[in-house]
A and B are shown apart, each in its own frame.
Chain A
Amino acid sequence: MLNYSVMDIEHKIYLTKEGLDKLREEYESLKGVRVEKAKEEVSSAASSQDVGSEFSTFQDDLRQLELRIEEIETTIKNHTLIISPPRGQRRVVFMGATVLVEVEGQTDEFTIVGSLEADPMLGKISNESPVGKSLLGHKMGDSVKVQSSVVTIYTIKKIIYNF
């Protein structure tokens, strides 16, 4: 269950329902690939006397596959599902919120997600990015300062929970 305190949100593995489903799908598919690879190993060893370099490439592939499967397992096991906040708290930016902002005379729209699902080109920004982190916990109408030697002010125009 998502904790609505914004104090301890860093370093958790956050996933949306959509992200979690995608990972589960990939997990099942990779397990299938692993079975196929194991069959390839048997037939390759049987058909060739000299499989030296091919075999080492194959092993390397298999290692990468295992690493990915392991990574997904860890993610699924330890994830925190992003859920919509209670009705009374939807005027505040929490994980999963889509935030309409005005910045330096331009408007933009960000959805705050966990690091694994972040895709800034598609407006999905990480809760651990300076902007994502700054927006969390703020309300509609707030102006949020993102610091560095170049200061940028994001004014929150609207907060939407689409899920």
Chain B
Amino acid sequence: MNSLLQFFIQIGKLKQAKRSGWLAYGIKSPETTADHIFRATILGWVLNKEKGLDESKIIKTILVHHLYEVYINDTTPYGYLLPKGVASQKEKTLLKEILKNPPPFNLIDEQKRLNRRHQEEENSVEKLISRLDGNIKKEIETLWQGYLNRKTKIGKFAWQAAKAETFLQAMEYWKKEGKIEHKLWNRWAKKALKDPIVSKFKKEIDRNFLNSGKKKNRNTTTEVMNFIIEIGKLKRLKRTGWILRGVKNPETVAQHTFQMTIISWFLGETKGLDTNKTVKIALIHDLCEVYAGDQTPYDPILGSDKKNAKKIMEKPPRVPYAKRLEWLLQKRAKEWKAIVKLTSRLPKALQDEIIELWVDFEEGLTKEGRFVSQVDKMVNLFQAIEYWKKDKKFPIIPWWIDIKERIDDPLLLKFMEELDKEFAIAKQGRVYKKK
């Protein structure tokens, strides 16, 4: 269990890893690798509905496709040409000039660079998974190799879907901040995104971002693209609970979802659950927050009094039953409306599936739904400990009290014990004094 815990801590780094390409363009607050993985995974899942490949493998491949970045930085095709630090005006001008043109291409040099890079990525993944249990380790190795070599249908399609997400993000940044060389991106995407379904999606992106004045006919691909654009908002939505506690640069909903999905997958596998289902439930569990926002159990006590939030959050949220019930019913109604609105224009079967998975998470209809719902709580404690490690003023005690009232799954209780050990080590012998 400790090797899993250490793995989960390591992949948390992807929530902070800003993607280097966007940094090079000077994008304000660019997405992180975890943000990208979140949306790319959903995009791959949704596009695969038409493609019809093994859904579970597509989803899991995209989930692991950038894990190597735990140890090595993200790169761009411009590689060594980009200056390391961009501080002076001269460096900024140089960078702009480089990015105006396609990356210089020499077949031999490029092949050498790619081989070197692949070796680094492989070493990084090996290091990351070295202590994992045999089955999970093997599964990640197979999925990741499939992605890296793109020799299998799954690997090829997962690669295409992940790149389509990056292309969409490029166009979104271009529209918002104008700093992206969108024509270069378009040329690249036209060449790279050859799969007929992904290519159709790419054309829809073009139609949306480049032909903005023209009237558009809506079709299924339009609706899928609009859905993907909408859920992209979760890459920018910082989680309320951390903001109210004064955490600097807290995780986004997308980043939380990425980490929680991997944890649900691995622990679900250990428990013998249907991991395709656990992963999908985890992926969609917070989608309603696109419109409903991120609410916390403290909301009924906080009201509009956000000034005292930090003080109130030093204790668990004990709310009288009637008030709690009223708030909960309002929250669930708001979230229900949001998930229906978000999925309303998707193909009926897909909408039904997303809503069923979401209801399962909320109501605990199946063992997978109940499990992922508890993983969500556990991941929050896990993240709280990470914030507490960085800032010992972070109110960690309420999290420990709360979790012991909420969790009852035997495997998660074991995981909690492991977290407890980690917490005790981090306290470095400091004794908790009750107030």
Give me the interface of A with B, judged by CB distance under 8 Å.
52-54, 56-58, 60-61, 64, 67-68, 71, 103-110, 115-116, 118, 120-123, 125-132, 146, 148-152
Contacts and interface: CB of A to CB of B under 8 A. Distances in A.
B397 interface: yes
Nearest to B399: A150
A106 B366 contact: no
A75 B417 CA distance: 29
A123 B364 CA distance: 16
B353 to A, nearest CB: 8
Nearest to A153: B434
A104 B324 contact: no
B52 A53 contact: yes
B404 A146 contact: yes
Nearest to B416: A148
A116 to B, nearest CB: 8
B50 A152 contact: no
Contacts of B406: 120, 125, 129
A130 B316 contact: no
B408 interface: yes
B49 A53 contact: yes
A121 B328 contact: yes
Summarize B's interface: helix, strand, loop or mixed.
Answer: helix
Contacts of B420: 148-149
5 contacts: A103-B401, A108-B318, A115-B408, A120-B406, A152-B400
A109 B404 contact: no
Contacts of B321: 109, 122-123
B405 interface: yes
B325 interface: yes
B432 A125 contact: no
A25 to B, nearest CB: 14
B434 A118 contact: no
B136 interface: no
B401 A150 contact: yes
> What is the size category of the interface that chain B forms with chain A?
35 or more
Given A109-B321, A150-B400, A150-B401, A118 B408 contact: yes
Nearest to A127: B408
B324 A132 contact: no
Nearest to B398: A104
Contacts of A129: 404-408
A150 B432 contact: yes
Contacts of A116: 364, 370
A103 B316 CA distance: 10
Nearest to B396: A150
Interface string B406-435: 111010010011001001100100001011
The 5 tightest CB contacts between A and B, nearest first, are A126-B408, A128-B408, A150-B400, A130-B404, A129-B408
Contacts of A52: 52
Interface in B37-68: 49-50, 52
A131 B404 contact: yes
